[in-house]
Chain A
Amino acid sequence: MVQRMASALTLQRPMPAGMFVRELLAAATRPRALLLKMSFPLVLILPLVIAHAPTFWAGMLLTVLIAMIGAVGAGMTAARAREARLMTRLTLTPRAPWRLLCSWVGAGALVDFMQLLPALVVLVVLSPTTAMAGITLLVVVAAVLVVANSLGFAVSALGGGPGEVLLDTVVLLAPLLFLGGLFTGVPATGWRATAAAVDPFAYAHSAFIAALGGSPAYTGGAVLVAAALSVCGGMLLVALAAPVVLRRR
């Protein structure tokens, strides 16, 4: 009887064959952490939406939030995995490093997206915005999370423990956020306009402004194209950095 119950229990448990499912399962085993992470963006977004905060600054805060959640979370995860020698063990499997790391980044971005989803839904529902702007926001947030996770993993290749990786990630993110026009807006012309045009955080900022009912710098179509390109760019970055990220001791 006990054995039957045990085998039934075993059958119910999903078995991870790849990195993507493994990371999702690992995240699912920490429901309290997931719940806390879900409530964190909610408590930030709710006051902003209810108080009708200026859309530019609210958008800036939320873009910084998703950038930090994605990049810092991924960087810390990578640093901890390196300390636990998981990276070395993965290197010694016959799987291609880019494949392992892209799956890992994809899983990390999905978990981050799930944690942000309730807050984003609240934002879209409570804000005076169109359904298209809401969908665009969800798409670009997912894309930016992929980019941020990729950056976090890539930065972790610089080495050091979780603390150092945190600092390295912030040092990399700060100029990217600035170039995306989050603090000053995107100029119409000049090199900063060009820099913002290739910076995925600029599009996330724009999508947040649109979703909050403000005047965005980019159209919805441009944001969606940028989101698709950002995912490709992020994955390319991870694929190129994968051998170094996994081999770094």
Chain B
Amino acid sequence: MTLAPARPLPRARRAPAPAHPVLEAVEVEHRFRNGRGVGPVSLKIAAGERVALMGPNGAGKTTLLDLLATAARPRRGEVRWYGSTSPRKARRLIGTAPDTAVEEGGLTARQATFFWCCQWVPRASAGGLVDDALRRFGLTAVADDRVASFSFGMRRRLALAQALVHGPRLALLDEPTAGLDPEGVRALDVALLARTQRGQATVVASNDCDFVAMSCTRVLFLDGGRVIHDAAPDALLAQVGAIRVAEIEVRGRGSLDAVRSLDGVGEVHAAGGRVSVELLDERALATVVSTVDADAGLVSLRVHIPDLDDVFTALTGRGLGAGGDPRPVHSRASRGRWRR
């Protein structure tokens, strides 16, 4: 299963410049009996935007996505799609991907995608769109295999291909990177970028910080069913600054005074064979590593780079994946592990 080489973006299907925002939610509220749910929430999404809904479990991401996708009706407020409040009209413009792997009985990937495409597009033009969507998500080689034989990740790719096959003006994707391999995530990123170039908007509910920072132009933090922050990923990351934390596992016990005295180093904590060094300047990392190695003997190194999870934590005191439990800043294991 390989991705298709980059192809020139189709010129067709560019959405006309809309008089109304693609989507506008005005004070929408949908609460369940247990008090969970979402609202009141107001938001506007313009053509070409790629918006991420982020928040811990139970924050209301999926409920909000359901409201925007017409799968549920708000108890209060209203949602407008291109200025219309009619869910039936909205469904002509929307494509959705569930957060689960799709089940398609005994159908092949091509047959199943063709079926979903034909719900929006005339049969005559569906064939080409289906081939294009399957190619975009690296499913061409298995297009005539039964979906029942697919792995979870392949079914997730198929769900995304089916959601985007008809070129919806608004795509609503729930946890789109769940189960995807890096190649699949890259294919999704390319597909979303192409949608932006055609003026099509995308909303994803995802706590995948890397994907959101890479692919989305705007982030809505949800907490307790309300939007607590709405900004571009870069602007959000700028709030926590570029401070990195180097977590170093050491062999012996050194004084670490030499590390503390280095330029570009903030706080230094040592406990149980581990040293945590706050890097105010990333260029200090090499000096810190060599100094610690000479002082106490370096065993392994992990560098924590601030991400959207840290931004959320800074705003609420809770992490995105903590299920609402308070946690200290910078406690999450990060990428960039190096072992001697």
7 tightest Cβ-Cβ pairs between the two chains A and B: A29-B106, A26-B105, A84-B103, A93-B119, A17-B118, A94-B91, A15-B114
Given contacts A13-B144, A18-B118, contact A92 B105 (CB under 8 A): no
Across the interface, name the chain A residue whose C-beta is closest to B99. A85
From B103, B108, B119, A94 is in contact (CB under 8 Å) with B119
In the complex the two chains form, is B146's CB within 8 Å of A29's CB? yes
Given contacts A86-B103, A91-B71, A92-B69, contact A16 B123 (CB under 8 A): no
In the complex the two chains form, is A9's CB within 8 Å of B144's CB? yes
CB distance from B82 to the nearest CB of A (A): 14
Interface residue total, chain B, C-beta cutoff 8 A? 30
From B94, B106, B126, A25 is in contact (CB under 8 Å) with B106
CB distance from A83 to the nearest CB of B (A): 9
Interface residues of B in 75-129 (CB under 8 A from A): 88, 91-92, 94, 96, 98, 100, 102-103, 105-108, 110-111, 114-116, 118-120, 123, 126-127
Interface residue total, chain A, C-beta cutoff 8 A? 25
Across the interface, name the chain B residue whose C-beta is closest to A10. B144
In the complex the two chains form, is A26's CB within 8 Å of B119's CB? no
In this assembly, does B42 line the interface, its C-beta being within 8 Å of a C-beta of chain A? no
Given contacts A17-B123, A25-B106, A26-B106, contact A89 B96 (CB under 8 A): yes
Which chain B residues have a beta carbon within 8 Å of chain A's beta carbons?
69-71, 88, 91-92, 94, 96, 98, 100, 102-103, 105-108, 110-111, 114-116, 118-120, 123, 126-127, 143-144, 146
CB distance from A20 to the nearest CB of B (A): 11
Within the assembled complex, what's the spacing in Å between the Cα atoms of A69 and B186? 47
In the complex, what residues of B have CB within 8 A of residue A22's CB? Answer: 107, 111, 115
Given contacts A9-B144, A26-B106, A30-B106, contact A17 B115 (CB under 8 A): yes
In this assembly, does A88 line the interface, its C-beta being within 8 Å of a C-beta of chain B? yes
In the complex the two chains form, is B107's CB within 8 Å of A25's CB? yes
In this assembly, does A6 line the interface, its C-beta being within 8 Å of a C-beta of chain B? yes
In the complex the two chains form, is B94's CB within 8 Å of A92's CB? yes
| Binary B-proximity of A132-168 (CB < 8 A = 1, otherwise 0) | 0000000000000000000000000000000000000
In the complex, what residues of A have CB within 8 A of residue B120's CB? Answer: 93-94
In the complex the two chains form, is A92's CB within 8 Å of B70's CB? yes
Given contacts A6-B144, A92-B69, contact A29 B107 (CB under 8 A): yes
In the complex, what residues of A have CB within 8 A of residue B71's CB? Answer: 88, 91-92
| Binary B-proximity of A1-34 (CB < 8 A = 1, otherwise 0) | 0000010011001111110001001101110000
Across the interface, name the chain B residue whose C-beta is closest to A26. B105
In the complex the two chains form, is A16's CB within 8 Å of B98's CB? no
Given contacts A6-B144, A17-B114, A18-B118, contact A93 B107 (CB under 8 A): no
In the complex, what residues of A have CB within 8 A of residue B100's CB? Answer: 84-85
Within the assembled complex, what's the spacing in Å between the Cα atoms of A16 and B123? 9
From B88, B98, B110, B123, A13 is in contact (CB under 8 Å) with B110
Interface centre among A13, A14, A89, A91 (most CB of B within 10 A): A89
In the complex the two chains form, is A89's CB within 8 Å of B110's CB? no
Within the assembled complex, what's the spacing in Å between the Cα atoms of A83 and B118? 23
Given contacts A85-B100, A93-B120, contact A25 B91 (CB under 8 A): no
In the complex, what residues of A have CB within 8 A of residue B92's CB? Answer: 94
Interface residues of A in 44-95 (CB under 8 A from B): 84-86, 88-89, 91-95
From A10, A17, A29, B105 is in contact (CB under 8 Å) with A29
A-B contact pairs, 17 of them (CB 8 A): A10-B110, A13-B144, A16-B111, A17-B114, A22-B107, A22-B111, A25-B106, A29-B107, A30-B106, A85-B100, A89-B98, A89-B102, A92-B91, A92-B94, A93-B91, A94-B88, A94-B120
Across the interface, name the chain A residue whose C-beta is closest to B130. A15
Given contacts A92-B70, A93-B119, A94-B120, contact A15 B127 (CB under 8 A): yes
Within the assembled complex, what's the spacing in Å between the Cα atoms of A26 and B103? 11
* Other A-B pairs beyond A15-B111, A22-B111, A28-B106, 6, CB < 8 Å: A10-B110, A16-B118, A26-B106, A29-B106, A85-B103, A89-B98
Within the assembled complex, what's the spacing in Å between the Cα atoms of A67 and B94? 39
CB distance from B125 to the nearest CB of A (A): 12
In the complex, what residues of B have CB within 8 A of residue A88's CB? Answer: 71, 98
In the complex the two chains form, is A16's CB within 8 Å of B107's CB? yes
Across the interface, name the chain A residue whose C-beta is closest to B104. A26
CB distance from B172 to the nearest CB of A (A): 9
CB distance from A79 to the nearest CB of B (A): 13
